[in-house]
Amino acid sequence: MTDPVLRTQGLSRRFGGLVAASDVELDLHRGRLHALLGPNGAGKSTLINLLSGDLAATSGSIKFKGNDITRFSADRRSRLGIGRSYQKTNIFTAFTAFENCRLAAQSRAPRALRVLGDALGFQPTCDAAHHALEAAGLAGRAGDIAATLSHGEQRQLEIAMVLATAPDVLLLDEPLAGMGAEEVGRMVALLQKLTPGHAILLVEHDMDAVFAVADVITVMVEGQVLESGPPAQIRGSAAVRQAYLGDGADT
Amino acid sequence: MSRRQIAATAVLVCLALFPFAGVAFYTELVAKVMILAIFAMSLDLLVGFTGLVSFGHAAYFGIGAYALGLMAPKYEAANLWLTLPAAVLAAGLAALAAGAFVVRAKGIYFIMVTLAFAQMFYFVFHDTSFGGGSDGISINVKPVASIGGFMPFDLSSATQSYFFVFTLMVLVFIFLRILLRSAFGKALQGIRSNEHRMLSLGFPVYRYKLASFTLAGALAGLAGYLSALQFGFVNPEMISWHQSGDVLLMLILGGSGTLYGGIAGAFGFVALQELFQSVTSHWQLLLGGTIILLVIFLPGGLASAGGHLKRVLVGDTIDD
């Protein structure tokens, strides 16, 4: 078995008296899609925020390729190769879809502080942006202002931007939320295509999609990991059924 | 050529021919406005393109001016080619030092901290004697543009001085246009649009903001230097919050985030000022009221007036 790309040990986050994430142990491996399930408020988004650096951990550690990154800022983690998407669409609404992705790709370009060359003249960055748009199924909307895209297309753009940064780890916070059936099908296919080359953590409420693409599933309840294992194990787990699936608490 | 290019060319030609119109007083006035236009464009880099509303930008204008005042010998001419880069550098370094603190603040706090730093600089010059205290410093002899004895132009001539300022204004405009199309400029505009996402995409936002703040300060220093050169004196008022407020008003009047809005705003502001001053001693009331009306009816500033006018005259059309 290969070493995990990303590993958390005893990772916790408190908000005053509330423990949003408690003692989370999680390994993400390249080539595996790791899905995170749990009812609302289980701490899934908190965990993604802890991994991406949007939130600082109260205790515990995060290791990326063996190096401790627990105290690294969000932008530094991103440059290391940890990319994330947001549950609430977080794009540059006034820019074109292409410029959204070009800017994302630019963060990886050498000489990012070039002050005199035309940014649009730097071909590798533009190519990366076009590839990302195409992968996310937005090639036809490259020139459109992001604000004019449909909700589903903005979700696709959200993913395209992460892809444009060419990350090793993908942290995807409900990428399918608000997408139509056709877009969900395309996104599931994209996730399957991305899995071999990436370590993916997927938070998603669409059970059909999760069980279709996940290699490993972790179920969280009230900030804690309830159970972790292959999809078949989770499907058969009495504890999971009781805590989550069986309650009809699905949102 | 697009309409915008035609308009820009027309403005440039008018400005280039203006000194030959034979109204000496206005030549100096227009030169003063062009200096303010450089100042306003430098602020636009912060306000309009990085999303940082500075209410203390006069600090760097004043430091550029004081740099000349302090470097100029009492009875001899300073050399332009030494003092001008030194003034720009001094203003840039001051902005870098202050910026290291202020760009950590956000929103209203950023506004307050930039103001606080500007007030600090103000009182340093106002309450100590090294810059002449509240009287400031007179620059008795205008700097010379001598290169080893060779004199390409003479700054004591109002006309040549006008063209020097005109050239610098055009160069600053071109420089900022190129900058804003570069990767660096695109990143600044990304920060203005969505700072949080820029961080998560891996941009070291703090460094970009600091670079923008430093550059804006250096260009404000250039404007301050030119102002000291033109008027032959510097005083703490150049650093005061009135001055910071005026340049912000010019930008609001002209329209931020467009660059040429800074130029339009400087001309509009000074024109209104001159007009109202000639009518009443309560001109500030009229100026303030006019600016409020303009903000209400022309929220994009004077820079957007062309489009509005066209819509009024020929009905709704797609703006090029």
DSSP states along A234-246: HHH-HHHIIIIIT
Mark whether A174 and A235 lie in a shared domain. Answer: yes
Can you give the pLDDT at residue A244?
Answer: 66
Query: Cα–Cα distance between B11 and A53 in angstroms, integer?
Result: 50
Can you give the pLDDT at residue B302?
Answer: 83
Residue B236 CB contacts under 8 Å (≥ 6 apart), including other chains: B62, B122, B125, B126, B131, B134, B136
Mark whether A184 and A235 lie in a shared domain. Answer: yes
Find out whether B39 and B32 touch, Cβ atoms under 8 Å.
no
Mark whether A145 and A180 lie in a shared domain. Answer: no
Mark whether A203 and A246 lie in a shared domain. Answer: yes
Residue indicated by tokens 């840039």: B92
pLDDT of A46 strictly over 70: yes
Q: Which domain holds residue A183?
A: 1-81+167-251
Query: Cα–Cα distance between A239 and A227 in angstroms, integer?
Result: 8
Stretch A7-32: mean pLDDT: 93
Can you give the pLDDT at residue B271?
Answer: 93
End position of a domain, from candidates A144, A161, A178: A161
Is the sign of the CA dihedral A157, A161, A163, A168 positive or negative?
negative
Residues of B in contact with A56 (CB under 8 A): none
Can you give the pLDDT at residue A251?
Answer: 42
Residue B257 CB contacts under 8 Å (≥ 6 apart), including other chains: B44, B47, B48, B49
From chain B residues 127-186, the ones with a CB under 8 A of any chain A CB are: 178-179, 181-186
Mark whether A25 and A142 lie in a shared domain. Answer: no
pLDDT of A247 strictly over 60: no
Can you give the pLDDT at residue B317?
Answer: 46
The enclosing domain of A251 has a CATH number of 3.40.50.300
**A30: DSSP letter:** T
- Inter-chain contact A122–B183, Cβ cutoff 8 Å? yes
When scoring A49, A54, A115 by the number of chain B Cβ atoms within 10 A, the one with the most, hence best to mutate, is: A115
Alpha carbon of B194: minimum distance to chain A alpha carbons (Å):
6
Is the sign of the CA dihedral B235, B241, B242, B243 positive or negative?
positive
Can you give the pLDDT at residue A110?
Answer: 67
pLDDT, one tens digit per residue, over A83-92 is: 999 998 899 9
Nearest CA in chain B to A171: B200
- A91 has a chain B CB within 8 A of its CB: yes
Residues of B in contact with A54 (CB under 8 A): 200
- A161 has a chain B CB within 8 A of its CB: yes
Mark whether A23 and A134 lie in a shared domain. Answer: no
End position of a domain, from candidates A118, A139, A161: A161
Stretch A165-183: mean pLDDT: 91
Residue B258 CB contacts under 8 Å (≥ 6 apart), including other chains: B44, B48, B301, B303
pLDDT, one tens digit per residue, over A122-152 is: 888 999 999 999 999 899 999 999 999 998 8
- B195 has a chain A CB within 8 A of its CB: no
- Inter-chain contact A107–B196, Cβ cutoff 8 Å? no
When scoring B179, B195, B200 by the number of chain A Cβ atoms within 10 A, the one with the most, hence best to mutate, is: B200
Residue A75 CB contacts under 8 Å (≥ 6 apart), including other chains: A53, B198, B199, B200, B201, B202, B203, B204, B205
Q: Where are the domains of chain B?
A: 20-239
Can you give the pLDDT at residue B319?
Answer: 43
Residues of B in contact with A79 (CB under 8 A): 202
Can you give the pLDDT at residue B300?
Answer: 81
Number of domains in chain A: 2
Residues of A in contact with B194 (CB under 8 A): 90-93
Nearest CA in chain B to A49: B200
**A88: DSSP letter:** S
pLDDT of A250 strictly over 50: no
End position of a domain, from candidates A142, A161, A180: A161
Can you give the pLDDT at residue B236?
Answer: 95
- A207 has a chain B CB within 8 A of its CB: no
* Cα distance between the two ends of chain B: 12
Residues of B in contact with A93 (CB under 8 A): 193-194
pLDDT tens across the length of chain B (320 residues): 688 888 888 999 999 989 888 777 789 999 999 999 999 999 999 999 999 999 999 999 999 999 999 999 888 888 999 999 999 999 999 999 999 999 999 989 999 999 999 999 999 999 998 888 889 999 988 999 888 888 888 998 889 999 999 999 999 999 999 999 999 999 999 999 999 999 999 999 999 999 999 999 999 999 999 999 999 999 999 999 999 999 999 999 999 999 999 999 999 999 999 999 998 888 889 988 988 888 888 888 887 777 777 777 666 544 43
Produce one character per residue of A93-113: b if its CB has 16 or more CB atoms within 10 Å, e if not: eebbbbbbbbbbbbbbeeebe
Residue indicated by tokens 């004697």: B129
Mark whether A6 and A68 lie in a shared domain. Answer: yes
Mark whether A58 and A99 lie in a shared domain. Answer: no
Is the sign of the CA dihedral B241, B246, B249, B254 positive or negative?
negative
Can you give the pLDDT at residue A33?
Answer: 96
φ, ψ dihedrals at A145, nearest 5°: -65, 135
- Model ipTM value: 0.91
Strands of chain B, DSSP E = 137-138, 233-234
pLDDT of A112 strictly over 80: no
Mark whether A101 and A206 lie in a shared domain. Answer: no
Stretch A44-65: mean pLDDT: 95
Can you give the pLDDT at residue B1?
Answer: 67
As a whole number, the mean pLDDT across chain A is: 90
Mark whether A149 and A244 lie in a shared domain. Answer: no
Nearest 10 degrees: CA dihedral of A143, A147, A148, A149?
Answer: 80
